A = this chain, B = another copy of it.
Amino acid sequence: MQDSFAQKKQSILKEISINGPENLDASPKGTIDEHCIPIINLINSHRDMVTTSSCSGRVSVYLEGTQNKLVSKGNEGKWIFVTHDTSNLENWYKSIDFQYVHEYPTSSYDARSILYKFEALILHVKCRDQATANKLYSVAMNCGFRESGIGSNYNVAIRTSIKLDVPVGYLGDGDIYRCFVTEDYLKYITNVSFDRFRENFKKLDQLYLAIEKGIINSEKKSLGDEADDSNHKSEKGKEWESIEERRARMKQEGLKRKEELRKAKEATL
């Protein structure tokens, strides 16, 4: 018989795999970011943790909605551009029909703003108990994810403060995207975003290693070899695999999934 946490975990993992791989958050992308797959697999390999939503970091250009703009998505809020990767970031503004102007609304309430945002990695992890949540929280904090916190029901949010939030324009008459910064400025903040992405992925790697060392491996040591065997069986009940083997397998699985994603993407074009 499975306990209630294990049941919940199984149902979350099942949903992820059915949705192939559908993300559980309300992001415009709707799938798990490829960059998150290794750390998601690492976390889910631990019997007391399961990831519930994730974003590996992204650049987005967002047209604010018509209501309650600052605190929620509002009505008709719309992503003009989104990427979770650096590969299609360069020159993104060339494909948007911007009208470059030198006029400004008098306040942010006068028109629907267009905001350029860089948002860093965010991971939500449901833990079995307070002890596990505390451990994950302190590993993340020590790794520089200083805006992390534990929510209700042992849900840990892992957050950092690397960001950009830049008003670049507003919606003009005739639904025209009016841009009041220059194309050179857009190019500059795009370059800054490449740096932010680099920093972000470095921190993602550090977090992977810190969770591996501080939680997965340290429990292996404290449990001793025999007791630990169960922890290192993969979920399909395969035989024991070493940390290195597991990591290699997860990377392999991640690459495979990435390839599937690429194909699925191509098929929809």
Contact = CB atoms under 8 A, between A and B. Distances in A.
Interface of A: 70-71, 102, 104-109, 113, 130, 134, 137-138, 141, 144, 147-152, 157, 159-160, 162-167, 180-182, 184-185, 187-189, 191-192, 194-196, 199, 203
B165 A147 contact: no
A191 B71 contact: no
B164 A165 contact: yes
Nearest to A133: B150
Q: How many copies does the complex hold?
A: 2
Contact of A71 (B134, B152, B184, B199): B199
Q: Which of A108, A130, A159, A199 has the most CB of B within 10 A?
A: A108
A59 to B, nearest CB: 13
Given A151-B150, A195-B107, A199-B70, A163 B162 contact: no
A203 B70 CA distance: 11
B199 A162 contact: no
